[in-house]
Structure 1
């Protein structure tokens, strides 16, 4: 009887450990729990409840964001009026994003410290629930939609700035991230500030790889797009998390 009791106790402990590990893993991954749901819900209203300087700071520090780990600093030169999504994406990209809807679109354009490059970064606030966002993220991964040159975000070219000539033909590198912990698609697109035309834009994931030899890669435009988009998305998540915290 003693060996049987010991075996039963061991199985019980193991079972509790597996259950606890699964719950902990789910919580860490943001797959469930009240806090994760609260953050997702809170993020839905940030487009009108947060000041523009919170979502798109006047200056963004990119420590280690440049080629070879070089530091970057981006300065905001223009903020687009919040709008719908009708003219912000190539037609096929707009179609791919349609299942999650477009509640509101926010965009801002930045330049680097030398004013050699310009980058438009955007936050598309969707109408989707967590399941729909996860489904769209899976589709983007499985079908490699973020690397297709016929599915690009469009820049915001502000008159009277170094980005005045930043149009569709000037797009050099870009990134698109379907976030699943908040109802947002974050994206950015970069190019040269002198208005030069780019025949073959390259996704940031490819342009930032070691040994990449394309013009956008050599200029660090993949780093510009990826680095700025990552930091704006991170700031959005932090803001959504802070909005759910209860005062002590």
Structure 2
């Protein structure tokens, strides 16, 4: 009770405590009254509280990154799988893409879209072996667009493969790509999309110079990109973007920044995809 608290009739004056009363130990030293936990018990209690906090943080983190287990994560996964027919093409493949810091040495890049492929199946988009690797997750829809860089020296096709798989299927495919190094095999390179009358007209299988493939596990989507020169030159054996982007790499592909072209554009299209995934709409009664 405080000093100005009303007094209930018959209850007497309010009782006010100014501090914790003290007692004395065996050496006549003052000490607070009450229960004191032994050091070991106090330490164990503190560790228990800390452990609960870490567990709670891990659970919250799993919801935020879309790991399975929460209803929101499942809703996000489902919503991402339907984006191909709910979102305008300009939001998935913007007409222009800014690649700040995306080039070699942190140089800025920019890309302009020159072609959009019709949304189709996957029959002609991948080499037979890559199509076989992707078969377990199925092909729901394939969207592709081709871009040219600001100097019109390089062309890059970027794609979004919307699969038919559930979260477990996407994790299994992602684990396989990681453990078997499938994203580095030169016999598993996506095919480009070329359009007549554009800088990509001669962008065929022989012009593939660098590529990247990313299997998302919080959405039923595989993001990929393949880059090459815009002058139709044959590239020889393509280099994985990660390899071509290494510091000190001296190959023609690395020197031309084609690894950065593929990785930078794929990353930004993936970001655009994620921005378009919002909470599931409420169902009307």
TM-score by length of 2: 0.81
Q: Is the contact made by 2:65 and 2:218 (CA closer than 8 Å) also made in structure 1?
A: no
Aligned mates of 1:15, 1:105 — CA distance in 2: 45
Gaps of 5+ in 1: none
- Quote how far apart the aligned CAs of 1:90 are: 1.0
Distance 1:213 1:34, change over 3 A: same
Match of 2:223? 186
1:89 equivalent among 114, 121, 126: 126
- Quote how far apart the aligned CAs of 1:15 are: 4.5
Match of 2:162? 125
Aligned mates of 1:199, 1:18 — CA distance in 2: 51
Match of 1:98? 135
Matched, 1:24 2:60: yes
Task: Point out which structure has higher relative CO (alpha carbons under 8 A, 6+ apart).
Answer: 1
Q: Deviations over 1:199-222 (max 9, x none)?
A: 111010000110111111000000
TM-score by length of 1: 0.93
Aligned mates of 2:90, 2:164 — CA distance in 1: 24
1:13 equivalent among 44, 49, 55: 49
Match of 1:233? 270
Bigger fraction of residues in helix: 1
Distance 1:5 1:149, change over 3 A: closer
Q: Deviations over 1:89-118 (max 9, x none)?
A: 111111000000000000000000111110
Aligned mates of 2:239, 2:132 — CA distance in 1: 21
Aligned mates of 1:96, 1:13 — CA distance in 2: 46
Q: Deviations over 1:102-144 (max 9, x none)?
A: 0000000000011111000000000011111011000000000
Gaps of 5+ in 2: 1-34
Instruction: Give aligned pairs, total.
Output: 245
Structure 1 segments of 4 or more deviating over 6 A? none
Matched, 1:160 2:194: no
Q: Is the contact made by 2:66 and 2:76 (CA closer than 8 Å) also made in structure 1?
A: no
